[in-house]
Structure 1
Amino acid sequence: MQVRSRLLPLLRSPLLGELLAWLYLHPDMSCSVTELARQFKTSQSTVSREADHLAKVGLVREERRGNLRLLQADLDNPLARPLTELLTLTYGPAAVLADLLPPVDGVDEAYIYGSWAARYAGEAGPAPRDVDVLVVGNADEDDLADAARSAERQLGREVNIHRVSATAWRSADDDPFLASVRSRPLYTVVEPGER
């Protein structure tokens, strides 16, 4: 993974963007370092180091319960509102879609692709104007449209969800669109077999 974030170049790493976005877009939730490390597929020590820095500068609050270290966005910080807006526009799609898609029946896998995934992967380019999502499974189109509209309200940008069957996804080479999606960066929102 690249060192500097392409979604929000002010940040030194994509992990920092994901961590901050998760905490600031779930302000009423306290998350353990262990949960966050699992969520972002990194080590607890890495999340703990980031948490130390964020707590020191007043962007997150921490609470200890025995060996459990809980983190929460510090909404009393004067930077909280503008930071939340920046995080919503940049790393927000990952946090918002991770909440909205798993509860939808029939979502076996879900990926963000297109310009957002490319910037996350470190490709240079302009800020994404929309969010493209590929859902694998047999989820109801109306349920997916509802999830897309909810995501749009939260993110302030268009969210396009394209659904394909698991069979079509497994044989993506037969479909030029799916072959193209697979050949570009993907950000996993719902892991295969997660449900």
Structure 2
Amino acid sequence: MQVRSRLLPLLRSPLIGELLAWLFLHPETSSSVVELARRFKVSQSTISREVSHLAAAGLVREERRGRLRLVGADLNNPLARPLTELLALTYGPAAVLADLLSGIGGVDEAYIYGSWAARYTGTAGPAPRDVDVLVVGDADDDDLADAARSAERRLGREVNVHRVSAAAWRSADDDPFLASVRSRPSYPILEPGDRS
């Protein structure tokens, strides 16, 4: 049974939101079905089926290069601009933060937690007003602050980044903040091994 999106209830599943956000918030690039399946950790057939639905609706464009199927946002669709704005407010944090944080040295792992992660996982509640991010590693705080400000400009909402060392994250100590983060819903932006 598919879970309806709580971030954008118009969508029938969170995967559709993630897929559309990735494509519309990266309009200058085309992604292969294989890349998208890997990114969203679903089968190629699932992504292929969703892309076919979105292409039939005129929301995405497709291009074939041999056996490679490339997909991108169709910016000529009159819905492109308002849809991009809506996606930035709902599913945008995952797409935008993945790009920004993957370019910063010392980020071992990163997770969205708090109200955005709760809505993503299906917990009812009001729309998130901000985005809370936990970064694990020894990244420079100034680089993380710059990434947060850049994300805020693209997402139109406050982004709060909290950094912890890898040792603290893996520790069994009773840090109340980390215990709270671990006990509640979270969304992985970067997981161990994502950069390999």
Q: TM-score, normalised by structure 1?
A: 0.98
Match of 2:9 in 1: 9
For 2:40 and 2:77, the matched residues in 1 are separated by 25
Residue 40 (str. 1) matches residue 45 (str. 2) = no
Identity over aligned pairs, percent? 83
Letter in 1 for 2:119: R
Match of 1:129 in 2: 129
Match of 1:89 in 2: 89
Q: Which runs of 5+ in 2 are unaligned?
A: none
Given that 1:7 and 1:120 are in contact with CA atoms closer than 8 Å, whether structure 2 keeps it comes out as yes
Match of 1:190 in 2: 190
For 1:113 and 1:97, the matched residues in 2 are separated by 13
Residue 170 (str. 1) matches residue 170 (str. 2) = yes
Count residues with an aligned counterpart: 195
Given that 1:33 and 1:44 are in contact with CA atoms closer than 8 Å, whether structure 2 keeps it comes out as yes
Q: Which runs of 5+ in 1 are unaligned?
A: none
* Aligned residue runs from structure 1 range 23-172, under 5 A: 23-171=23-171
Following superposition, which runs of at least 4 residues in structure 1 exceed 3 angstroms of deviation?
none
Letter in 2 for 1:144: L
Letter in 2 for 1:41: K
For 1:172 and 1:17, the matched residues in 2 are separated by 35
Instruction: Using the TM superposition, give the Cα deviation of residue 173 of structure 1 relative to its aligned residue in structure 2, in angstroms.
Output: 4.5
Given that 2:112 and 2:187 are in contact with CA atoms closer than 8 Å, whether structure 1 keeps it comes out as yes
Q: TM-score, normalised by structure 2?
A: 0.97
SS at match of 1:174: coil
